[in-house]
Amino acid sequence: MKQGMKVGKLIGLVVVLGFISYHINAQTEVSSDESLTDKQQNLISIAALTAKGDLQALKPFLDKGLDTGLTINQIKEAIVHVYAYCGFPRSIRGLQTFMEVVNERKAKGITDFLGATATPVNDERSKYERGREILEKLTGVPQNMPQTGYSAFAPEIERFLKEHLFADIFERDVLTYAERELVTISVISSIGNAEPMLRSHMKICLNVGITPEQLEQFIKVIRATLGKKEAKVAQKVLNEVLSVS
């Protein structure tokens, strides 16, 4: 009987320890879900510094990005994405710097994973229609309303946005929509004086699964990467977005 009691106690202890272990793991999973991953944080820094043109500061983040598991193609895609918001010169200089980093790592015997390329698009619709659909998914707002504001003032830029930015670029699946939006708000935070656009894309971030807590963490990454001035502006815009969301 005593042996039976000992076995019962042992089973009970195993159950309790299993229960505790389950809850510790569950808490870890929740904490992880509420935080930006190392990959996401490095994408933010890479995009922000590429847009700023600070190539010396960019190099260690390119190294860290590869070390945290970003593929060569994901980083290239992020730097290419940057050009849509701050121009070819910054993007090309970022790519040239990345080439240097990759070659330096090769010389050290480090083999980095190239990663997947973009899936070919098999959609017979026009790029305008495809871009319009993607923009609807991102914003949650129908895109068949009469044009107003700058879109009515300069219809060609509205067409370029849908055909090129949201079809040619966002349609490429090397990065997710969430990753592309993190890159986008990083660039806009870096170049400054574009708060309305930053506000719009922070709203899109929330629509594509980035949480308010992750956006608060984004501000911290921007502060550490760019400085207090850029972080202060981004924080003000985020506060406005969260106050009405």
Of 171, 208, 242, 205, nearest in space to 44 by CA: 205
CA gap 37, 40 in Å, rounded: 5
* Residue among 221, 141, 209 at smallest CA distance from 181: 209
| Residue spans per domain, the chain | 37-114+177-244, 126-172
The answer for residues whose C-beta is within 8 angstroms of residue 238's C-beta and 6 or more apart is 202, 215, 216, 219
Query: In whole angstroms, what is the distance from residue 73 CA to residue 117 CA?
Result: 7
Burial 175-195 (b: 16+ CB within 10 A, else e): bebbbbbbbbbbbbbbbeebe
Percent above pLDDT 90 for the chain: 82
Count the neighbouring beta carbons within 10 Å of the beta carbon of residue 37: 13
Reported pTM: 0.85
Report DSSP state, residue 169: I
Spell out the per-residue pLDDT of the chain, length 245, in tens: 444 444 444 444 433 334 333 333 332 233 346 899 999 999 999 999 999 999 999 999 999 999 999 999 999 999 999 999 999 999 999 999 999 999 999 999 999 999 999 999 999 999 999 999 999 999 999 888 888 899 999 999 999 999 999 999 999 999 999 999 999 999 999 999 999 999 999 999 999 999 999 999 999 999 999 999 999 999 999 999 999 97
110-156 tens-digit pLDDT: 999 999 999 999 999 999 999 999 999 999 998 888 888 999 999 99
Q: Which CATH number fits domain 37-114+177-244: 3.40.50.720, 1.20.1290.10, 1.10.3720.10, 2.70.70.10?
A: 1.20.1290.10
Residue 56: burial class (beta carbons within 10 Å; 0-12, 13-18, 19+): exposed
Contact indicator for 168, 130 with CB cutoff of 8 Å: no
Beta-carbon contacts of 70 under 8 Å, excluding residues fewer than 6 positions away, are 39, 42, 43
